[in-house]
Amino acid sequence: MRSVAFCCISTGEFHYPKRAAAEIAIRTVRDWLTETGGGMKVVFNVFLDEDAAIYRELLGLAS
């Protein structure tokens, strides 16, 4: 596999806090990339502008 995409798991129907979910997802991906030496493209797939803003902020990306 060369790439993988993650959506905002459980933040819709199950009402898991969006920011907490993003923090967990980003931390988990960063840890995995560090442990495995990277080399994989990871996409955080979001449906709402609010979600995109959270991910951009946490990833240090411009809006």
15 sits in the region (left: phi over 0; alpha: psi -120 to 50; else beta) called: left
Q: What is the pTM of this model?
A: 0.86
User: What pLDDT score does 17 carry?
Assistant: 96
Q: How does DSSP assign 43-59, residue by residue? A: EE--SSHHHHHHHHHHH
Q: How does DSSP assign 27-38, residue by residue? A: HHHHHHHHHHT-
Query: In this predicted model, what pLDDT tens digit does every residue of 2-59 receive, in sequence order?
Result: 899 988 888 988 999 999 999 999 999 999 999 998 889 999 999 899 999 999 999 9
User: What pLDDT score does 27 carry?
Assistant: 96
